A and B are shown apart, each in its own frame.
Chain A
Amino acid sequence: MSVFTRSQADRETLLLPELAALTAHHRANSAGYDRILSSLGIAPDATFGSIADLPWLPVRMFKTHDLKSVPDSEVFKTLTSSGTTGAGASRIYLDKEAAGAQTKQLGATLQEVLGGERLPMLMVDTIGIIKNRRSFSARGAGVLGMANFGRKHTYVLDEHDQPEVEAVKKFLAEYGGKPFLIFGFTFMVWLYLYEVARDNDLDLSNGILIHSGGWKKLIDRAVDNTEFRRRFKEDTGLTRIHNYYGMIEQIGTVFLEGPSGNSLYCPDFADVVIRNPETWEEQPVGEPGVIEVVSTLPRSYPGHVLLTEDLGVYNGIDDGDWPGKHFSVLGRLPKAEARGCSDTFSGAAA
């Protein structure tokens, strides 16, 4: 059951009513969300002509306010992440159903590139990252979430963040002849897996790499996605590489890089809108703008239509590896800063 099947027209037809119903559901169950839409003059019975017409919330709202559409008694899990904007932590409330849905849909999304069975798994991280189950970093949460999709986990780094070459060699000797899964954050994969594999002539050609986290830390090494893929292919034989884009505020929804690389695709229950930061209108293909992520998964909190703080661009619509819009992430919006009399602004998190 692939979740990369819907053309853009199908998404408008099938997702829009679902998203409009979600909007009404959140208005009915989250007083704060309803107050936002009311003050923007959006009538309770408003209809929306397209996915791009749906009202969006800035993703940072979840750092500054508690927004949820379930009673406290039904909160099953609270996710917190500090993210990178330094504005405190996002707080995302999941009830049992939402927690189940996000795991299920993440699995369905990754199945597209992993196949149906759990594969032996190489973790480009240290086991220490998930040792303390009480307080997770975002990295730890990512590692733990992904661990479910593999078996026979081997961690590439020791507790001092040093690569354990022997452990990797042992893993490859045992499982490297068949498809195996590799997971890690982009910059760590480059620093600790690519360089170790290259220097030790390791064969990763049966690997399927899933990675995320952006390119910012690799800029000074002049590594972008194209270079990343080229060098992995040439020096380690690894060709099945899938970057993904996702955030804790829309947990379970990941936009996955297609097999031919350099473009991210929306699973069938999600969509993306690139907006012009001046007019907030949707941008045409090829024009950069601010990324809005749309997903039917957030039912326990009003996170179904979120304006991120990332810049992106549509690479095309219905003309790539999989149907629907496909896009690239270009980087983060620069921080908003102001001058003033005080050294610090209370309330100005930016």
Chain B
Amino acid sequence: MTSLTQRFPAAPSLEVGALVDELRAAPPGGRLRVGDPRVVEFVTKFARKLLAPATARRFPELASLGFFLRKGEIAKALSTLDTSAGTLRFPRGLVFHVPPANVDTIFVYSWALSALAGNHNVVRVSSRSAGAAEAVLEALNAALSEVDPDTAAAITATQRMVTYDRSDEVSGALSLAADLRVIWGGDGSVAALRKYPLAPHARDLTFPDRSSFAVASVAGWQRASEAERRAAAEGFYNDSYWFDQAACSSPRAVFWVGDSAGARAAGQEFRTLLASVLAAKQHVTEPAMAVQKRVSAYGAAVDGLVKEIAFDGNGLATLELTDPAVLPREWLGAGTFANAQVSTLSDLVPIVLRKDQTVSQFGFTTEELTAFAHELAGRGVDRIVPFGSALTFSAVWDGYDLLAEFSRLVTVQA
């Protein structure tokens, strides 16, 4: 028998069978509803802890999370769940979350939205979790001791974050007990968890490997003021360097859209600005990472994908593609960007794959971007956002309206 370590609420270890029994029971004070005030109270208390200056300074990504979970934001998100007469919305039931092991904080978004939808949740937190994830667990436990006792009792009965060593028994039992299983962490995690059967009525919500790229309008760049150009470089820096360019929404390639002379000039100016942002932020590239980037860049040259490699210091490597269609989707090292010119956004349509998640854009109009999305026709690309917003989590993610996914509809006709 494998026992689970209970990280939140902090409690003695227990067996998986006991955990499932506890999570299935109705909580004191009655079952959770969609947008349950007890959950809202707890989540907003938790959010305030994340926004505390000491925490926010140490982990800027937790400040974003805290911002996302403020009372006003939550109310806005929950309002999207309003139903028309004769239709009622209810929680799905028990949700089993498997977040990525190399934690970024995405699992907290997943959990919080599911809890706000009124679900009972069990989240598997990696034993390798560190830093930001530890801070999250601390904040959760601290928030629990500060809310109304009735709220605390309901949260304790329904929300669990646990750590356990790889175990068929535990993963199998939690999968079978779940009404919805949420798998983050890429293709490998999805494949590993799919081995465990779900109950016949249950489903998976999967977040497989994704990749992202950026598009910049040459005409838009030429129209932009000096300040807008600098802001674009700063936004792009945040999008790319915050998670060493390894986040699924961070751009790996940049396409300049317009005439080739204009694209060359704009690209050159953009990279000069980006290099100055790196300098201003005192961005440090570890020697091993600098070597890794060269291995990737030279490898792409050997493979014939790249015709020109330029290094602006260790922080910024630009790989001029031989053909836009061969854009690299794998991680090449922090601050390594494939670069290419295309005449129109339409030229990118045949290149896009289902795997492509985020398109960060600069200098396009809503009409141009909407037309591009229509041309893609849903074959790929889940979100188009301005430079600087690539990493901003939203309740619609990877094409899913998460709150809708975390709830179910019941219709009533007299």
Q: Which residues of A contact B (CB under 8 A)?
A: 32-33, 35-36, 38-41, 57-58, 60-61, 64-65, 67, 277-278, 290, 307, 309, 333-336, 338-350
Smallest distance from the beta carbon of B279 to chain A beta carbons, Å? 12
Q: How far apart sit A40 and B318, CA to CA, in the bound complex (Å)?
A: 11
**Cβ contacts B254-286/A at 8 Å (1 or 0 each):** 000000000000000000000000000000001
Contact partners of B314 in chain A: CB under 8 A:
277-278
Contact partners of B320 in chain A: CB under 8 A:
39
Report whether B209 and A342 are in contact in the complex, using a CB–CB cutoff of 8 Å.
Answer: yes
Nearest 8 CB-CB pairs, A to B?
A340-B246, A342-B186, A277-B287, A347-B330, A338-B244, A32-B302, A341-B248, A338-B246
Given contacts A41-B308, A290-B291, contact A338 B334 (CB under 8 A): yes
Q: CB within 8 A of A60: which of B295, B301, B313, B332?
A: B295
Report whether B104 and A339 are in contact in the complex, using a CB–CB cutoff of 8 Å.
Answer: yes
Q: How far apart sit A336 and B286, CA to CA, in the bound complex (Å)?
A: 7
Report whether B210 and A341 are in contact in the complex, using a CB–CB cutoff of 8 Å.
Answer: yes
Report whether B104 and A342 are in contact in the complex, using a CB–CB cutoff of 8 Å.
Answer: no
Given contacts A58-B298, A278-B314, contact A341 B288 (CB under 8 A): no
Q: CB within 8 A of A65: which of B101, B210, B302, B334?
A: B302
Q: CB within 8 A of A341: which of B185, B296, B302, B307?
A: B185
The chain A residue sitting closest to B306, CB to CB, is A39
Smallest distance from the beta carbon of A346 to chain B beta carbons, Å? 5
Report whether B308 and A340 are in contact in the complex, using a CB–CB cutoff of 8 Å.
Answer: no
Report whether A58 and B295 are in contact in the complex, using a CB–CB cutoff of 8 Å.
Answer: yes
Q: List 30 A-B contacts (CB under 8 A).
A: A32-B301, A32-B302, A33-B302, A35-B302, A36-B301, A58-B294, A58-B298, A60-B295, A61-B298, A334-B288, A336-B289, A336-B333, A338-B333, A338-B334, A339-B243, A340-B100, A340-B102, A340-B248, A341-B186, A342-B185, A342-B187, A342-B189, A342-B209, A343-B102, A346-B209, A347-B296, A348-B330, A348-B333, A350-B289, A350-B295
Report whether B330 and A346 are in contact in the complex, using a CB–CB cutoff of 8 Å.
Answer: yes
Q: How far apart sit A336 and B299, CA to CA, in the bound complex (Å)?
A: 17
Report whether B330 and A345 are in contact in the complex, using a CB–CB cutoff of 8 Å.
Answer: yes
**B245 within 8 Å of A (CB atoms):** yes
Smallest distance from the beta carbon of B218 to chain A beta carbons, Å? 24
Question: For chain B residues 338-388, which have a beta carbon within 8 Å of chain A?
Answer: none
Contact partners of A348 in chain B: CB under 8 A:
246, 292, 330-331, 333
**B111 within 8 Å of A (CB atoms):** no
Report whether A334 and B331 are in contact in the complex, using a CB–CB cutoff of 8 Å.
Answer: no
Q: CB within 8 A of A338: which of B187, B207, B331?
A: B331
Q: CB within 8 A of B298: which of A36, A336, A340?
A: A36
Q: How far apart sit A253 and B345, CA to CA, in the bound complex (Å)?
A: 53
Q: How far apart sit A310 and B185, CA to CA, in the bound complex (Å)?
A: 32
Task: Pick the most buried of A67, A277, A339, A345: most chain B CB atoms within 10 A of its CB.
Answer: A339
Given contacts A39-B301, A338-B244, A338-B246, contact A333 B331 (CB under 8 A): no
**B184 within 8 Å of A (CB atoms):** yes
Contact partners of B304 in chain A: CB under 8 A:
35
Report whether A342 and B287 are in contact in the complex, using a CB–CB cutoff of 8 Å.
Answer: no
Q: How far apart sit A349 and B314, CA to CA, in the bound complex (Å)?
A: 19
Q: How far apart sit A41 and B287, CA to CA, in the bound complex (Å)?
A: 23
**Cβ contacts B178-219/A at 8 Å (1 or 0 each):** 000000111111000000000000000001011000000000
Report whether A39 and B307 are in contact in the complex, using a CB–CB cutoff of 8 Å.
Answer: yes
Report whether A342 and B288 are in contact in the complex, using a CB–CB cutoff of 8 Å.
Answer: no
Contact partners of B298 in chain A: CB under 8 A:
36, 57-58, 61
Q: How far apart sit A36 and B295, CA to CA, in the bound complex (Å)?
A: 10
Q: How far apart sit A137 and B162, CA to CA, in the bound complex (Å)?
A: 41
Report whether A335 and B246 are in contact in the complex, using a CB–CB cutoff of 8 Å.
Answer: no
**B122 within 8 Å of A (CB atoms):** no
Given contacts A67-B302, A342-B100, A348-B331, contact A39 B309 (CB under 8 A): yes
Smallest distance from the beta carbon of B183 to chain A beta carbons, Å? 11
Number of A-B contacts (CB under 8 A): 135
Smallest distance from the beta carbon of A87 to chain B beta carbons, Å? 9
**B106 within 8 Å of A (CB atoms):** yes
The chain B residue sitting closest to A65, CB to CB, is B302
Q: How far apart sit A39 and B306, CA to CA, in the bound complex (Å)?
A: 7
Q: CB within 8 A of A309: which of B103, B291, B296, B302?
A: B291
Given contacts A278-B314, A343-B101, A347-B296, contact A338 B291 (CB under 8 A): no
**B247 within 8 Å of A (CB atoms):** yes
Report whether B288 and A336 are in contact in the complex, using a CB–CB cutoff of 8 Å.
Answer: yes
Contact partners of B246 in chain A: CB under 8 A:
338-342, 345, 348
Q: How far apart sit A335 and B288, CA to CA, in the bound complex (Å)?
A: 6
Contact partners of B50 in chain A: CB under 8 A:
none
Report whether A347 and B186 are in contact in the complex, using a CB–CB cutoff of 8 Å.
Answer: no
The chain A residue sitting closest to B250, CB to CB, is A340
Contact partners of A333 in chain B: CB under 8 A:
287-288, 291
Report whether A350 and B248 are in contact in the complex, using a CB–CB cutoff of 8 Å.
Answer: no
Contact partners of B301 in chain A: CB under 8 A:
32, 35-36, 38-39
Q: How far apart sit A344 and B309, CA to CA, in the bound complex (Å)?
A: 26
**B290 within 8 Å of A (CB atoms):** yes
Smallest distance from the beta carbon of B182 to chain A beta carbons, Å? 14
Contact partners of B313 in chain A: CB under 8 A:
278
Q: How far apart sit A61 and B189, CA to CA, in the bound complex (Å)?
A: 29
Smallest distance from the beta carbon of B409 to chain A beta carbons, Å? 30
Q: How far apart sit A33 and B304, CA to CA, in the bound complex (Å)?
A: 11
Report whether B307 and A340 are in contact in the complex, using a CB–CB cutoff of 8 Å.
Answer: no
Q: How far apart sit A345 and B287, CA to CA, in the bound complex (Å)?
A: 19
Question: For chain B residues 102-154, which have a beta carbon within 8 Å of chain A?
Answer: 102-104, 106
Smallest distance from the beta carbon of A53 to chain B beta carbons, Å? 16
Contact partners of A336 in chain B: CB under 8 A:
286, 288-289, 291-292, 333
Q: CB within 8 A of A343: which of B100, B106, B288, B334?
A: B100
The chain B residue sitting closest to A66, CB to CB, is B302
Contact partners of B104 in chain A: CB under 8 A:
339-341
Contact partners of B290 in chain A: CB under 8 A:
277
Contact partners of B210 in chain A: CB under 8 A:
341
Q: How far apart sit A65 and B294, CA to CA, in the bound complex (Å)?
A: 13
Report whether B186 and A343 are in contact in the complex, using a CB–CB cutoff of 8 Å.
Answer: yes
Q: CB within 8 A of A345: which of B106, B303, B306, B331?
A: B331
Contact partners of B309 in chain A: CB under 8 A:
39-40
Report whether A343 and B189 are in contact in the complex, using a CB–CB cutoff of 8 Å.
Answer: yes
Smallest distance from the beta carbon of B149 to chain A beta carbons, Å? 38
Contact partners of B245 in chain A: CB under 8 A:
338
Smallest distance from the beta carbon of A186 to chain B beta carbons, Å? 23
Q: How far apart sit A349 and B296, CA to CA, in the bound complex (Å)?
A: 10
Smallest distance from the beta carbon of B295 to chain A beta carbons, Å? 5
Q: CB within 8 A of B243: which of A57, A334, A340?
A: A340
Smallest distance from the beta carbon of B331 to chain A beta carbons, Å? 5
Given contacts A35-B302, A39-B308, A336-B286, contact A343 B188 (CB under 8 A): yes
Contact partners of B101 in chain A: CB under 8 A:
343
Report whether A340 and B244 are in contact in the complex, using a CB–CB cutoff of 8 Å.
Answer: yes
Smallest distance from the beta carbon of A349 to chain B beta carbons, Å? 8
